[in-house]
């Protein structure tokens, strides 16, 4: 597919990018190996804390990947990906509440505070894990579809779209903070015990989840990259670069955008579903406008439109965040602000783009 | 601008003055009786408490009148008297005048001079009747306390003991009350008193009177009365029905007016927060996510001015709001211009990048203010002329701080509008926005115009901060909640159109407050958002789209 290579950035040449999925699969294998094989105290032993952290970062990378797919390739900056992440997270929370209730026969605390005596019927459809996952993806696609349909049909784009999605995130957060909604309000959902019959408190379950996250990330990366290189991906890039021209040529650009947008929403929901059992809680903070902007910052720092840059940005920023928040908590906002400013002002294409430029320079020299 | 503020303050002074005259008139009959009270009078009060249980009531009334009277010495004496009596420290002696027991020895009950001769009698223990009277009298004096919470508690006590109150005194307190809650409680107290009367004529009169003085309280009272007395006469029943329908009608109007007013005040807040954003977003095309932080900085600048005045010129303390206006504007404008010079300048062609960059600036600013001032809410002392409010109509209580916010929003809007439409600077801004290249070809220094426009937008955000100190809680992360609402206003109004900003903040403010009382704040926010999305479907560029040629 030589034509694809022409219209996409050089970073999309096929040969250059098979490395990341391979690396991720390695991570997926290394985690249980180093955690289980080497005993605690051994220098190569990975503690549960580290494994858990790696798992969380994989979820964030997945989220960044979802955003880069629509921002980098389609030119649609969403400041509302937290909505889909939150939908996935809450649906997984519903499922875990179901299994916890089936396990312990004790109603979750917040339901007792609400004065409920039985498990609410509205949450019972989420009792089976495959059904719950399917429902979560469908809900994310549905919400994304409605938002996307309203926005793309009336040609709301650019910053207007960003602002509207940010406001939607804010509205959803306020809604979830509401105790009367019956979703735990401020405290969110917690008290999970079992996932698909595995004990969540057990170390091996958490290691398994972290490995699963890495594998899912690799698979999704592979899928999205394949899509980006297909004719659909070409159409997306064309929409990004000159939507009006594509429309005049007879393409239904709103459908292209809607399809990509819904897929991105589903990926973000998947990230939320993997994230919740690993942290053991889901609360409205996950849909704060703050987090949604932060996702965009990861992508921008890594380099947008490259997919691999999104993963890179999410991993680097989150590693830095976990490390700095533990070491010097008050410095983190300044460091984040500094990096963001530096990248936006000086290094437009992000770290990965910078690397590409460097490589190109060296090739010409 | 200055003359307008002077006028504003003039009207405030005028209000106080009117209050004083009113009080003086109403007090006159009560106060005349005890101007410069002779010692004889004090003695007769104390003696009647000591000797004659039948005159407790009148004696207590006289004491209360002394306490709320004009003479400070007499008031002090009255307070001491009540306090000593409650503390079981009044000693009525057979020989010599009555004395108060104090910490070390005794003092004369009339002059409060120390008494040297030995006192061996026991203090008087108030009877149950006297104790109840004492409590009421204490509450009656507290109706005039400077502390509003004390006044509210005292008014509640009056309402409980409505049968025993001193009516002229309660009327006096009512005329002086500046607090809506106190006023309503006292009005109710008087109404209850008449309703409980034996004479049917008096009751009908009270019902009629309540019909013409409608409030939430009188409505409940009359409804309860209707339920409690199924056997009332036809005349009374007719009066009751008439009064109730009258009250319902008036309250409905008042409630509607109150919703419209709160919508107006919310619109004022929206307008003032969105104005700067409209300039920055509309004219420069910059998505300034740090706009909320400029609002926050404006609020903290006000805080600095407040603290400075408190320390260095306490006499001018009330003026801090006005002093803070130029200060906050200048501080925010300077920070904005520095920001433009260092960062925004490089991003003019890339709006999505300005979004990320200004977000980065905003988190850094929040953290910085957190480190400098702490992350908890900052307390502001409301200037005396903004405290309280006025009952314009039943169920429509207008607080001065809201009026201040609306007025200041209008003034600032008018100033910004005049600046953009009628000054040379405004002309240059518009020229640069509409046809940048032509403007530059004509010698307009576009980059420095950009900088000043950005400074103007930031400064306006600072002014919003000044206003918000009076009506919202101030903390380092206050900006985040305002910036999203402000963006909604700008998106709906049409970027760059000041009139559009005003209209859309009015619409959003009213719609929000119309929904909020019935369905809650979150539903109102969501409904407003949906409304915007719907309108944008029809008019993607907002209600008042600016026609530019890029």
Q: Using an 8 Å CB-CB cutoff, list chain A residues near B350.
A: 348
* Res B331 pLDDT > 90: yes
The reported pLDDT for the residue numbered A127 is 79
A324 assigned to some structural domain: no
B123 assigned to some structural domain: yes
- How many CA atoms, within 13 angstroms, populate the side-chain half-sphere of residue B365? 27
B222 assigned to some structural domain: no
Segment A280-308 shows an average pLDDT of: 86
Q: Are residues B303 and B321 in the same domain?
A: yes
The three-state (H, E, C) secondary structure of chain A, written as one string: CHHHHHHCCHHHCHHHHCHHHHHHHHHHHHHHHHHHHCCCCCCCCCCHHHHHHHHHHHHHHHHHHHHHHHHCCCCCCCCCHHHHHHHHHHHHHHHHHHHHHHHHCCCCHHHHHHCCCCCCHHHHHHCCHHHHHHHHHHHHHHHHHHHHHHHHHCCCCCHHHHHHHHHHHHHHHHHHHCHHHCCCHHHCEECCCEECCEECCCHHHHHHHHHHHHHHHHHHHHHHHHHHHCHHHHHHHHHHHHHHHHHHCCCCHHHHHHHHHHHHHHHHHHHHHHHHHHHCEECHHHHCHHHHHHHHHHHHHHCCCCCHHHHHHHHHHHHHHHHHHHHCHHHHHHHHHHHHHHHHHHCCCHHHHHHHHHHHHHHHC
More confident position, B28 or B470:
B470
Number of CB atoms found within 10 A of residue B154's CB: 24
Q: Are residues B9 and B95 in the same domain?
A: no
The reported pLDDT for the residue numbered B294 is 93
Q: Are residues B79 and B4 in the same domain?
A: no
Q: Within its chain, how far is the Cα of B11 from the centroid?
A: 17
B356–A contact, CB cutoff 8 A: yes
- Report A:1-40 residues touching B (Cβ under 8 A): none
Segment A203-218 shows an average pLDDT of: 84
Domain that holds residue A114: 2-9+18-288
Domain that holds residue B8: 1-27
Number of A/B CB contacts below 8 angstroms equals: 106
Contact A229, A236 (CB under 8 A): no
Q: In this complex, do B364 and A333 lie within 8 Å of one another by their Cβ atoms?
A: yes
Q: Are residues B324 and B459 in the same domain?
A: yes
Q: Which of B183, B200, B217 is the last residue of a domain?
A: B200
* Res A15 pLDDT > 80: no
The reported pLDDT for the residue numbered A44 is 67
Residue A221, C-beta contacts closer than 8 angstroms, at least 6 positions apart: A20, A21, A24, A65, A307, A308, A311
Helices (H) and strands (E) in chain B, counts: 22, 6
Q: Are residues B37 and B182 in the same domain?
A: yes
A252 assigned to some structural domain: yes
**DSSP sequence for B116-171:** -S---SPPPPPPHHHHHHHHHHHHHHHTT-S-HHHHHHHHHHHHHTGGG--HHHHH
Q: What percent of chain B has pLDDT over 70?
A: 92
Q: What is the pLDDT of residues A103-160, one digit of tens each?
A: 777 777 777 777 777 777 777 788 788 888 999 999 999 999 988 888 888 777 777 8
* Res A41 pLDDT > 80: no
The reported pLDDT for the residue numbered A141 is 93
pLDDT band at B1, cuts 50/70/90? very low
Indicate the Cα dihedral angle B118, B124, B125, B127, nearest 10°: 180
The reported pLDDT for the residue numbered A134 is 92
Q: Of the ranges A77-81, B162-166, B378-382, B524-528, which one carries the lowest mean pLDDT score? A: B162-166
pLDDT band at B462, cuts 50/70/90? very high
Contact A261, A70 (CB under 8 A): yes
Q: Using an 8 Å CB-CB cutoff, list chain A residues near B537.
A: 150, 153-154
Contact A125, A135 (CB under 8 A): yes
Task: Give the C-alpha separation, B125 to B298, whole Å.
Answer: 59
A333 assigned to some structural domain: no
The reported pLDDT for the residue numbered B248 is 85
Task: Give the C-alpha separation, A127 to B107, whole Å.
Answer: 81
Helix axes B400-422, B424-434, angle to 10 degrees: 70
**DSSP sequence for B276-329:** HHIIIIIIH----TTHHHHHHHHHHHHHHHHHHHHHH-GGGGGGHHHHHHHHHH
More confident position, B535 or B300:
B300
Segment B431-445 shows an average pLDDT of: 84
CA distance A259 to chain B (A): 20
Q: Are residues B384 and B437 in the same domain?
A: yes
* Res B298 pLDDT > 70: yes
Q: Of the ranges B2-11, B295-304, B463-472, B510-519, which is most confident?
A: B295-304
The reported pLDDT for the residue numbered B6 is 42
The reported pLDDT for the residue numbered B153 is 82
A123 assigned to some structural domain: yes
Q: Are residues B8 and B42 in the same domain?
A: no
Q: Are residues B61 and B5 in the same domain?
A: no
* Res B27 pLDDT > 60: no
| Facing residue for A160 by CB, picked from B343, B361, B491 | B491
Q: Of the ranges B5-9, B159-163, B308-312, B357-361, which one carries the lowest mean pLDDT score? A: B5-9
Task: Give the C-alpha separation, B94 to B121, whole Å.
Answer: 9
- Report B:281-310 residues touching A (Cβ under 8 A): 287, 289
Contact B362, B290 (CB under 8 A): yes
Q: With the C-alpha atoms ordered B392, B394, B396, B398, is the resulting torsion angle positive or negative?
A: positive
The reported pLDDT for the residue numbered B263 is 87
Helix (H, G, I), strand (E, B) or coil at B94: coil
Indicate the Cα dihedral angle B522, B527, B528, B533, nearest 10°: 130
Q: Of the ranges A63-67, A246-250, B145-149, which is most confident?
A: A63-67
Q: State the pairing for strand pair A198-199/A194-195.
A: antiparallel
Q: What is the pLDDT of residues A267-280, one digit of tens each?
A: 999 999 999 988 88
| Facing residue for A333 by CB, picked from B350, B367, B537 | B367
The reported pLDDT for the residue numbered B381 is 80
Helix (H, G, I), strand (E, B) or coil at B399: strand
Task: Give the C-alpha separation, B513 to A247, whole Å.
Answer: 42
A300–B contact, CB cutoff 8 A: yes
Q: Are residues B148 and B82 in the same domain?
A: yes
Q: Are residues B9 and B47 in the same domain?
A: no
Helix axes B521-538, B498-519, angle to 10 degrees: 140
Task: Give the C-alpha separation, B439 to B425, whole Å.
Answer: 13
CA distances from B326 to B333, B465, B475 (A): 10, 12, 21
* Res B163 pLDDT > 80: no
Task: Give the C-alpha separation, A267 to A275, whole Å.
Answer: 12
Contact B497, B277 (CB under 8 A): no
Segment B35-48 shows an average pLDDT of: 74
The reported pLDDT for the residue numbered A14 is 46
More confident position, B77 or B394:
B77
Helix (H, G, I), strand (E, B) or coil at B480: helix
Q: What is the pLDDT of residues B490-510, one digit of tens each?
A: 888 877 788 888 888 998 888
- Exposed, middle or buried by CB within 10 Å (0-12, 13-18, 19+), for B477? middle
A342–B contact, CB cutoff 8 A: no
Q: Which of B460, B479, B498 is the last residue of a domain?
A: B479
* Res A177 pLDDT > 70: yes
Q: Using an 8 Å CB-CB cutoff, list chain A residues near B488.
A: 163, 167
pLDDT band at B30, cuts 50/70/90? very low
Angle subtended at Cα A71 by Cα A66 and Cα A72, rounded to the nearest 5 degrees = 95
* Res A60 pLDDT > 90: yes
A311 assigned to some structural domain: no
Residue B366, C-beta contacts closer than 8 angstroms, at least 6 positions apart: A333, B293, B296, B476, B477, B479
The reported pLDDT for the residue numbered B296 is 92
Q: Are residues B115 and B76 in the same domain?
A: yes
ipTM for this model: 0.85
Q: Within its chain, how far is the Cα of A138 from the centroid?
A: 16
CA nearest neighbour of B292 among B472, B498, B502, B484 = B484
CA nearest neighbour of B443 among B428, B456, B433, B458 = B428
Segment B83-109 shows an average pLDDT of: 80
A252–B contact, CB cutoff 8 A: no
A329–B contact, CB cutoff 8 A: no
B342 assigned to some structural domain: yes
| Facing residue for B367 by CB, picked from A171, A293, A334 | A334
Helix (H, G, I), strand (E, B) or coil at B495: coil
Q: What is the pLDDT of residues B336-359, one digit of tens each?
A: 999 988 888 888 777 778 888 899
Contact B202, B169 (CB under 8 A): no
Task: Give the C-alpha separation, A93 to A103, whole Å.
Answer: 15
Task: Give the C-alpha separation, B326 to B466, whole Å.
Answer: 10
The reported pLDDT for the residue numbered A1 is 30
Q: What is the pLDDT of residues B98-152, one digit of tens each?
A: 888 887 778 887 777 887 777 777 788 888 888 888 888 888 888 787 777 888 8
Helix (H, G, I), strand (E, B) or coil at B474: strand
* Res B155 pLDDT > 60: yes
Q: Which of B149, B174, B200 is the last residue of a domain?
A: B200
pLDDT band at B438, cuts 50/70/90? confident
* Res A6 pLDDT > 90: no
Q: Are residues B162 and B309 in the same domain?
A: no
Task: Give the C-alpha separation, A161 to B482, whole Å.
Answer: 19
The reported pLDDT for the residue numbered B3 is 42
Element (H, E) at B101: strand B99-101
Contact B88, B123 (CB under 8 A): yes
- Find which of B288, B359, B370 to mutate to test the A interface (most A CBs within 10 Å of its CB): B359
* Res B335 pLDDT > 90: yes
Residue A310, C-beta contacts closer than 8 angstroms, at least 6 positions apart: A61, A64, A65, A67, A68, A72, A298, A299, A302, A303, A304
Instruction: Write the DSSP symbol of residue B540.
Output: T
A340–B contact, CB cutoff 8 A: yes
The number of distinct structural domains making up chain A is 1
Q: Using an 8 Å CB-CB cutoff, list chain B residues near A341.
A: 343, 357, 360-361
CA nearest neighbour of A298 among A311, A285, A279 = A311
The number of distinct structural domains making up chain B is 3
Q: Using an 8 Å CB-CB cutoff, list chain A residues near B521.
A: 174
pLDDT band at B32, cuts 50/70/90? very low
Task: Give the C-alpha separation, B254 to A48, whole Å.
Answer: 63
pLDDT band at A261, cuts 50/70/90? very high
B372–A contact, CB cutoff 8 A: no
Contact B493, B478 (CB under 8 A): no
Contact B270, B295 (CB under 8 A): no
Phi/psi-derived region of residue B427, left when phi > 0, alpha when psi is between -120 and 50, beta in every other case: alpha
C-alpha R_g of chain B? 31
pLDDT band at A263, cuts 50/70/90? very high
Q: In this complex, do B521 and A168 lie within 8 Å of one another by their Cβ atoms?
A: no
Q: State the pairing for strand pair A281-282/A198-199.
A: unpaired
Task: Give the C-alpha separation, B259 to B517, whole Å.
Answer: 8
């Amino acid at each position: 597919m030589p034509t694809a290579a022409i219209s996409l950035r050089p970073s999309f040449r096929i040969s250059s990018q098979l490395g990341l999925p391979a690396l991720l699969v390695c991570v997926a294998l290394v985690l249980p190996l180093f955690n289980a094989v080497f005993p605690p105290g051994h220098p190569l032993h990975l503690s549960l804390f580290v494994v858990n952290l790696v798992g969380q970062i994989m979820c964030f990378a997945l989220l960044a990947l979802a955003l880069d797919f629509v921002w980098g390739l389609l030119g649609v900056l969403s400041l509302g990906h937290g909505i889909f992440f939150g939908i996935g997270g809450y649906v997984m929370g519903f499922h875990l509440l179901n299994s916890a209730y089936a396990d312990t026969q004790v109603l979750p605390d917040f339901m007792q505070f609400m004065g409920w005596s039985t498990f609410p019927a509205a949450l019972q459809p989420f009792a089976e894990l495959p059904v719950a996952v399917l429902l979560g993806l469908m809900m994310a696609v549905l919400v994304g579809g409605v938002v996307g349909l309203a926005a793309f049909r009336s040609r709301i784009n650019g910053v207007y779209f960003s602002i509207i999605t940010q406001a939607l995130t804010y509205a959803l957060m306020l809604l979830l903070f509401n105790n009367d909604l019956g979703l735990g309000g401020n405290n969110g959902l917690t008290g999970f015990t079992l996932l698909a019959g595995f004990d969540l408190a057990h170390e091996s379950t958490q290691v398994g989840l972290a490995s699963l996250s890495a594998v899912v990330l690799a698979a999704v990366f592979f899928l999205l990259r394949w899509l980006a290189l297909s004719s659909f991906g070409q159409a997306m890039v064309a929409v990004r670069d000159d939507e009006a021209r594509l429309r005049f040529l007879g393409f239904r650009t709103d459908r292209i955008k809607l399809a990509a947008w819904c897929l991105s929403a589903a990926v973000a929901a998947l990230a939320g579903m993997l994230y919740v059992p690993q942290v053991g809680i889901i609360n409205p903070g996950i849909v704060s406008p703050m987090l949604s902007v932060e996702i965009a910052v990861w992508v921008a720092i890594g380099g947008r439109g490259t997919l691999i840059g999104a993963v890179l940005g999410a991993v680097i920023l989150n590693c830095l965040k976990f490390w700095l928040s533990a070491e010097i908590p008050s410095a983190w906002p300044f460091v984040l602000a500094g990096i963001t400013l530096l990248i936006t002002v000086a290094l437009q294409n992000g770290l990965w783009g910078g690397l590409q430029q460097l490589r190109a320079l060296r090739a010409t020299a | 601008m200055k003359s307008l503020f002077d006028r504003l303050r003039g009207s405030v002074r005028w209000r106080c003055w009117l209050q004083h005259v009113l009080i003086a008139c109403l007090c006159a009959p009560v106060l005349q009786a005890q101007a410069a009270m002779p010692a004889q009078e004090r003695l007769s009060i104390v003696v009647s408490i000591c000797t004659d249980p039948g005159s407790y009531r009148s004696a207590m009334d006289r004491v209360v009148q002394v306490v709320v009277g004009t003479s400070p010495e007499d008031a002090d004496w009255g307070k001491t008297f009540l306090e000593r009596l409650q503390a079981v420290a009044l000693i009525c002696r057979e020989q010599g005048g009555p004395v108060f027991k104090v910490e070390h020895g005794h003092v004369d009950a009339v002059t409060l001079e120390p008494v040297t001769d030995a006192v061996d009698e026991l203090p008087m223990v108030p009877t149950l009747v006297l104790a109840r009277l004492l409590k009421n009298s204490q509450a009656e004096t507290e109706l005039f306390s400077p502390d509003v919470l004390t006044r509210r508690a005292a008014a509640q006590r009056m309402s409980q003991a409505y049968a025993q109150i001193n009516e002229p005194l309660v009327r006096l307190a009512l005329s002086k009350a500046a607090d809506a809650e106190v006023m309503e409680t006292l009005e109710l107290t008087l109404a209850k008193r008449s309703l409980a009367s034996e004479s049917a004529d008096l009751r009908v009169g009270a019902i009629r009177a309540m019909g013409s003085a409608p409030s939430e309280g009188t409505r409940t009272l009359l409804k309860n009365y209707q339920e409690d007395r199924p056997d009332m006469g036809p005349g009374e029943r007719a009066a009751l029905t008439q009064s109730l329908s009258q009250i319902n009608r008036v309250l409905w109007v008042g409630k509607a007016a109150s919703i419209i007013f709160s919508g107006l005040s919310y619109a004022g807040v929206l307008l003032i927060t969105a104005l700067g954003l409209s300039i920055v977003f509309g004219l420069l095309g910059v998505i300034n996510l740090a706009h909320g932080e400029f609002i926050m900085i404006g609020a903290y600048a006000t805080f600095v001015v407040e603290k400075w005045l408190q320390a260095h010129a306490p006499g001018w303390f009330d003026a801090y709001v006005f002093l803070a206006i130029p200060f906050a504007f200048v501080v925010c404008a300077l920070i904005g211009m520095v920001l433009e010079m260092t960062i925004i300048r490089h991003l003019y062609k890339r709006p999505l990048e300005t979004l990320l960059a200004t977000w980065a600036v905003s988190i850094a600013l929040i953290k910085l203010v957190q480190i400098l001032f702490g992350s908890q809410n900052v307390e502001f002392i409301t200037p005396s002329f903004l405290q309280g409010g006025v009952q314009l109509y039943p169920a429509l209580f207008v607080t001065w701080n809201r009026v201040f916010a609306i007025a200041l929003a209008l003034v600032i809007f008018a100033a910004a509008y005049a600046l953009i439409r009628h000054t040379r600077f405004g002309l240059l801004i518009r020229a640069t926005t509409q046809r940048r290249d032509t403007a530059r070809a004509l010698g307009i220094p576009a980059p420095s115009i950009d900088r000043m426009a950005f400074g103007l937008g930031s400064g306006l955000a600072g002014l919003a901060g000044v206003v918000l100190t009076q009506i919202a809680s101030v903390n380092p992360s206050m900006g985040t909640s305002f910036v999203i609402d402000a963006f909604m206003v700008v998106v709906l109004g049409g970027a760059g159109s000041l009139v559009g900003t005003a209209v859309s903040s009015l619409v959003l403010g009213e719609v929000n407050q119309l929904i909020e009382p019935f369905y809650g704040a979150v539903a109102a926010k969501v409904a407003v958002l949906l409304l915007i999305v719907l309108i944008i479907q029809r008019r993607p560029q907002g209600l008042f789209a600016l026609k530019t040629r890029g």
